[in-house]
């Protein structure tokens, strides 16, 4: 399944337009809080600039957390609504889908783990996470026989609408369950996450070529198009890295899952190794997007560049989690190599996707240049701004290059000026690049857009920039 098709389901990418080199366009001098989003001043920011950024993050967090806490819970059907319009009213259908359901669990568990945010305290965040956990594990979405989750159920969870076990969805279920286990101190949730992983591993792990197979279902459910029916995708494998990093931490914290943790650590190290040996294409300097069963790329020159910014901190967090793991020598040596490779690929992706004229990150690309035209016009998507912030922070931490910190601050400014909705709260999914107005509709939640990118991005950026402002050490988030 193609990550580009996941996140840009409304968009049909055309041939890429020429991109401007962001680094070459850097103005000289120090940045100010009022600088245009595309400005890339040299050097470290003044404390006042970081203070302004932290103020913006607090404001955006309040808007986002409030929107999801007030509008998303479904008091009649349980769990959370999948579809919400601009102002938070349920829209477009009542069924519940796996990916947003799992993302709600992860997001609220993360808010609780951070001690609360945006007027929602830890206790309330845990209650919201428990609501998501109960729906995910206590309705027909959970297939007891297969020990995996169905793609789509009725509003109250009593009836399976689409039974397909999409691997991308299982990855997010593992992620949400494991994060909830750690946040709530719930060992049963860690055990649940392990059961999902062990089922996926038994059914889909490829012992010969490594990684996991994604084309095992008889048919694709709605929302996963026929063009996504490939054996493997970098999108799913990157999110498996994220999920297994969290699962390893949860099993380690539970105290009773150390034997299971050894297998998870081994698979996590294998996935990192595959980034270097299968996903990465030396001929392009980027990751290929889709693969056949033998790991040959479907289109070697297609790139989903914003995912390469995600990889920067996914790899950093995974490497930290595996630091004390007992691994075979080949995997143990692969982990630091891939962490370094992720920095190199992420730096190229940042250079290719950053827009020095209007600010913000583009999403997809080809031949190392962004693809900016779509069926909705020339638009930017919400999620690369959040992932760009987090990837940029770790690029800055690793390299000391202030350009990356300025891109983080620029993406934050882009979110505040262009994507944030002061009338309805939260963020629009797509924005027309020329006008700055919403594009491709004004919905706030659907089968792919939930609170995963926004709350994680804002919370982590707030924590990390607060530490940077204080001059204290920052470690990759696990």
At residue 44 the predicted structure's pLDDT band, cuts being 50, 70 and 90, is low
Q: How far is CA 126 from the centre of its chain?
A: 21
Q: What is the pLDDT of residue 377?
A: 83
Rounded to an integer, what distance in angstroms lies between the CA atom of residue 245 and that of residue 178? 9
Contact between 149 and 201 under an 8 Å Cβ cutoff? The reply is: no
Mean pLDDT (whole number) for 214-229: 66
* Residue where the block lists tokens 């999403």: 363
Distance CA 100, CA 267 (A): 25
- State residue 33's pLDDT score: 35
- Could you read off the pLDDT of 419-451 as tens digits, one per residue? 999 999 999 999 999 999 999 999 999 999 999
| 267 and 345 Cβ atoms separated by less than 8 Å | no
pLDDT for position 259: 83
- Which pLDDT belongs to residue 258? 79
Mapped onto helix, strand or coil, the DSSP state of residue 116 is: strand
Please enumerate in sequence order all residues whose Cβ is within 8 A of that of 446, keeping only pairs 6 or more positions apart, or say none: 82, 83, 92, 100, 429
Asked if residues 276 and 288 have their Cβ atoms less than 8 Å apart, the reply is no
CA 26 → CA 7, 253, 393, distances in Å?
30, 45, 18
pLDDT-wise least confident of 284-298, 348-362, 369-383: 369-383
- Residues 402 and 438: their CA atoms lie apart, in Å, by 31
Strand (E) or helix (H) holding 233: strand 232-233
Q: How far apart are CA 294 and CA 56, in angstroms?
A: 46
Q: 259 pairs with which residues across the strands?
A: none
Residue that wins the pLDDT comparison between 215 and 247: 247
Residues contacting residue 95 through CB under 8 Å, at least 6 positions apart: 82, 152, 153, 154, 155, 161
Report residue 25 as tokens. Answer: 């366009």
Torsion (CA) 162, 167, 172, 176 in degrees, nearest 10 = 80
Q: How buried is residue 3: exposed, middle or buried, by Cβ count under 10 Å (0-12/13-18/19+)?
A: buried
| CA pair distance 250, 386, nearest whole angstrom | 25
Task: State the pLDDT confidence band at 155, using cuts at 50, 70 and 90.
Answer: very high
pLDDT at 213: 95
* Angle at CA of residue 24, ends 19 and 30, nearest 5°: 125
pLDDT value, residue 225:
52
Q: Which residues of 437-471 are buried (b: 16+ CB within 10 A; e: fewer)?
A: ebbbebbbbbbbbbbbbbbbbbbbbbebbeebeee
Percent residues over pLDDT 90 in the chain: 78
| Residue that is written with structure tokens 């359901």 in the block | 101
Helix-strand-coil percent breakdown of the chain, rounded to 5?
Answer: 50, 10, 40
**Alpha-carbon radius of gyration of the chain:** 21
CA atoms of 425 and 99, how far apart (whole Å) = 22
């Amino acid at each position: 399944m193609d990550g580009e098709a996941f996140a840009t389901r409304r968009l049909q990418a055309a041939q890429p337009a020429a991109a401007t080199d962001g680094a070459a366009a850097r103005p000289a001098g120090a940045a100010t809080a009022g600088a245009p989003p595309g400005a890339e001043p040299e050097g470290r920011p003044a404390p006042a600039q970081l203070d302004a950024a932290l103020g913006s993050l607090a404001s955006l967090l309040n808007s986002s957390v409030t929107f999801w806490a007030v509008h998303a819970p479904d008091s009649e059907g349980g769990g959370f609504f999948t579809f919400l319009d601009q102002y938070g009213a349920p829209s477009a259908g009542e069924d519940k889908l796996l990916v947003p359901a799992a993302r709600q669990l992860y997001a609220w568990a993360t808010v609780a783990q951070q001690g609360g945010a945006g007027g929602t305290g830890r206790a309330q965040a845990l209650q919201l996470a428990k609501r998501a956990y109960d729906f995910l594990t206590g309705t027909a979405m959970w297939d007891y026989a297969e020990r995996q989750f169905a793609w789509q159920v009725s509003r109250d969870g009593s009836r399976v609408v689409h039974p397909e076990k999409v691997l991308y969805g299982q990855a997010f279920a593992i992620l949400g369950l494991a994060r909830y286990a750690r946040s709530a101190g719930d060992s049963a949730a860690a055990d649940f996450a392990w059961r999902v992983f062990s089922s996926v591993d038994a059914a889909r792990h490829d012992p010969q070529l490594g990684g996991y197979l994604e084309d095992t279902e008889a048919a694709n459910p709605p929302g996963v198009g026929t063009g996504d029916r490939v054996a493997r995708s970098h999108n799913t494998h990157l999110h498996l890295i994220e999920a297994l990093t969290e699962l390893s931490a949860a099993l380690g914290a539970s105290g009773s899952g150390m034997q299971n943790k050894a297998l998870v650590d081994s698979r996590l190290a294998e996935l990192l190794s595959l980034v270097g040996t299968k996903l990465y294409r030396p001929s392009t300097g980027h990751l290929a997007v889709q693969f056949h069963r033998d790991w040959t790329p479907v289109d070697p020159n297609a790139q989903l560049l914003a995912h390469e910014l995600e990889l920067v901190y996914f790899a950093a967090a995974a490497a930290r989690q595996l630091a004390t793991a007992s691994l075979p020598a080949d995997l143990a040596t692969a982990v630091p190599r891939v962490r370094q490779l992720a920095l190199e690929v992420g730096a190229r992706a940042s250079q290719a996707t950053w827009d020095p004229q209007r600010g913000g990150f583009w999403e997809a690309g080809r031949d190392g240049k962004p693809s900016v035209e779509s069926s909705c016009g020339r638009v930017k998507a919400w999620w690369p701004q959040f992932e760009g912030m987090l990837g940029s922070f770790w690029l800055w931490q690793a390299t000391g290059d202030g350009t990356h910190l300025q891109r983080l601050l620029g993406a934050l400014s882009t979110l505040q000026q262009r994507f944030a909705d002061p009338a309805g709260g939260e963020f629009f999914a797509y924005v027309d690049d020329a006008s700055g107005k919403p594009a491709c509709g004004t919905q706030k939640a659907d089968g792919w857009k939930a609170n995963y990118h926004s709350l994680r991005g804002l919370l982590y950026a707030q924590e990390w920039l607060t530490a940077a402002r204080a001059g204290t050490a920052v470690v990759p988030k696990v």
